[in-house]
Chain A
Amino acid sequence: MGNRLGRYGVWVLVAIVGAVCWGMLALARGETVNAGWLLFAAIASYAIAYRFYARFIQTRVLETDDSRATPAERLNNGRDFEPMDRRVLFGHHFAAIAGAGPLVGPVLAAQMGFLPGTVWIIVGVILAGAVQDMTTLFFSLRRDGKSLGQMAREEIGVIGGAAALIAVLSIMVILLAVLALVVVLALAASPWGSFSLAMTIPIALLMGVYLRFLRPGRVLEISLIGVTLLILAIFGGGWISESSAYADAWTFTPNQLVLALVIYGFVASVLPVWLLLAPRDYLSTFMKIGTILLLAVGIAITLPPMHMPRFTEFAFNGQGPVFAGALFPFVFIIIACGALSGFHSLIASGTTPKLIQKESQVRVIGYGAMLMESFVAVMAMIAATTLDPGVYFAMNANPVLLGDTVQSASQAVNGFGFSVSPETLQQTANAVGEDTIIGRTGGAPTLAVGISQIFSSVIGGTALQAFWYHFAIMFEALFILTTVDAGTRVGRFMIQDLVGNVWRPFGRTSWLPANLVASALIVAAWGYFLYAGVNDPLGGINQLFPLFGIANQLLAAVALTVGTTILIKMGRLRYAWVTALPLAWDAAVTLTASYQKIFSTDPAIGFFAQRAAAVQSIEAGKLNDTLKALKAESIQDAHQILVNTTVDGILSILFAAMIIIVILDAARVWFGIIRGTKEPELSETPWQESRLDSEGNEIEREPVGARS
């Protein structure tokens, strides 16, 4: 008895701490709420979810079986299949799922106040995101590491499989465009940022040559050299931005940066991996993990107050200047990767299942790593909401609303119902070593200002604030560029694979003409959206980011549908709600958002309402009131709006149609099995006994089961 009390007593305590923290977040009086409450509310919630809910999924829903040999053990070849220590694999898996998404989404969602975004980040990960990652990982593990697309085809049908493939390709294109847009917006008119980011290319080349020819596989020593050079490059950028001779040469307009990125993306995806992509990936992974750790320590030490209110009126009226649309469904779309990310199901069904030692480890790796990712999103939310809300809106509101000067921006912010003086805006810009911070949308600059304030209050004070700002910008831009490289490359392979089904030679990845054509296609696709986003008269990020969010949630719907189907086939109908409920919620969110994007008569939200206004203006030869209200300036803008809204609108229809098709196709399978008209055919690999020592044997590095 006493033992039992001891075992659960600590959890009662954790629950109380969590409840108190949540209570403070929701109810505390006063101007500001301390970020510490949020930090501990998150940690307590994660701990309870991991201990109880993830365990329930592991033991009751999935019934993991540690006596069953995993693919890593059965197919061990020391290369792609290999039992890996769970802590090492956790690191790999986390590095693979953590990208720029959870840093950008929460910053944009902060316009509705800190609470809606935070609640979804924490509740969403516990009930949806981590569940998706864990179940997909498990199901792929039982199928020798098959990909999500293959599982969709085998478990649901050809249609489900095709939808998964189209979803992956389209999400890739939109995503690359959105991320590249974030980089462009962060670097435009910033010689400091442009210089230090450009320097990452020669640094990566140096590392690549070192790893290829001098000392293959010696990643740590060269990464250390790389990071040191990177820090020097940031200081170098500060020097460049102050010297009048070089500052101009390193100042670029958004369109110049678009061109540079498109050329870069093409070249990087054709170059051999070892030369640029792989070394950059090491560099950005170390920078990423390092910065996230620093941020966690910084927040824990400073415990900054959050100045953003719990809710702003934009949560309810849908008129937010950062992106349009009300709390439901758009918070759930915008937060994206920090709570539920469809793309993770590709990682969970890609490399990771081939390396797992024991089935029960899907809990720590699938569920646990996703909790970490969510924690990163919580920190991004904290960094954004510790800013003065006036500064936040002056940075993030659609630039056409703000005007070019600190005075006009200050007035515009007053119009949103917040206040900030022109002097404060100028001081904030000066403190981070930039000419202006007005209309620096895209999330990255806001996060960087937040990070620089937190870091500089721990190390260096105001003297180092500009350094920390550019450190944060560089770290975000660096791993976004790595993503652009890697994503373009993967997109290229997918196109080659697709076309290769029809015309064989094109599928050969070693054939240079096919490489060039496929790369050019992918780069042209995201380059188009990037260009359209940069030149969007209504502001690109607020048009494109929701589309990306919808695409990502669509992929999550595919993964959760596959999961539900497999659970039903395994005879676990009574537990199918574990994936079916998040699926229902995800479908409701995505379809509502798509519906509003397609049918809303509010031209700030609906693509076709905007399009109609543009058509009317073009026919009349002058801007109508609707477009004027959206701050379009000329008839040329109307033409641009016409093209953009047509493309975006069609994409929205496509995404919505795909979700409906996948779910209907799967429902046919579900009800067939439930009614008994269909045989539940599982494509699991047959059971085979594991010869590896049971879980917890960390020294067990030898592949005991390989040969006896």
Chain B
Amino acid sequence: MTTLLKPFRYAWEYLKEISGENAYDRYLQVHTATHPEKPPMSRGEFYRHRQDEKYNNPGSRCPC
């Protein structure tokens, strides 16, 4: 049964990675490893920052 479900689990993990759902958790990891003294951004702040970065930059999406 678990082997049958494997491809689906893999697909689900892939979707989570690609949609950015895991991005915040990873950011927390990096942040605590590199700057333990500074408080990390909250989840909301983090996604806001990511969005601004993405949509203010011509190199993030091809219009054609």
Contact = CB atoms under 8 A, between A and B. Distances in A.
Nearest to B18: A91
Given A217-B23, A274-B51, A347-B60, A85 B17 contact: yes
A590 interface: no
Interface stretch (A243-251, A338-346, A517-525, A528-536): A338-346
A494 B56 CA distance: 9
A231 interface: no
Given A702-B29, A707-B34, A88 B18 contact: yes
Interface in A57-99: 76-80, 82, 85, 87-88, 91-92, 96-99
B39 interface: no
Nearest to A552: B64
A175 interface: yes
Contact of B16 (A176, A220, A336, A706): A220
Contact of A343 (B47, B57, B64): B64
A172 interface: yes
Given A76-B30, A79-B50, A282 B19 contact: yes
Contact of A96 (B16, B21, B60): B60
A346 B30 contact: no
B38 to A, nearest CB: 12
A486 B63 CA distance: 8
A683 B63 CA distance: 29
B21 A351 contact: no
B19 A168 contact: no
B55 A706 contact: no
B1 interface: no
A641 interface: no
Interface residues of B, number: 39
A706 B33 contact: yes
Given A78-B27, A703-B33, A217 B59 contact: no
Given A351-B57, A493-B56, 13 more contacts: A78-B28, A87-B14, A88-B17, A96-B61, A96-B62, A101-B62, A219-B21, A343-B63, A349-B59, A351-B60, A486-B55, A490-B57, A703-B33
Q: Which 7 A-B pairs have the closest CB atoms?
A: A350-B59, A78-B30, A101-B64, A78-B27, A219-B19, A483-B63, A88-B17
Interface of A: 76-80, 82, 85, 87-88, 91-92, 96-101, 147-148, 168, 172, 175-176, 179, 211-212, 216-220, 223, 273-274, 277-278, 281-282, 336-337, 341, 343-344, 346-347, 349-351, 483, 486-487, 489-490, 493-494, 509, 548, 552, 701-703, 706-707
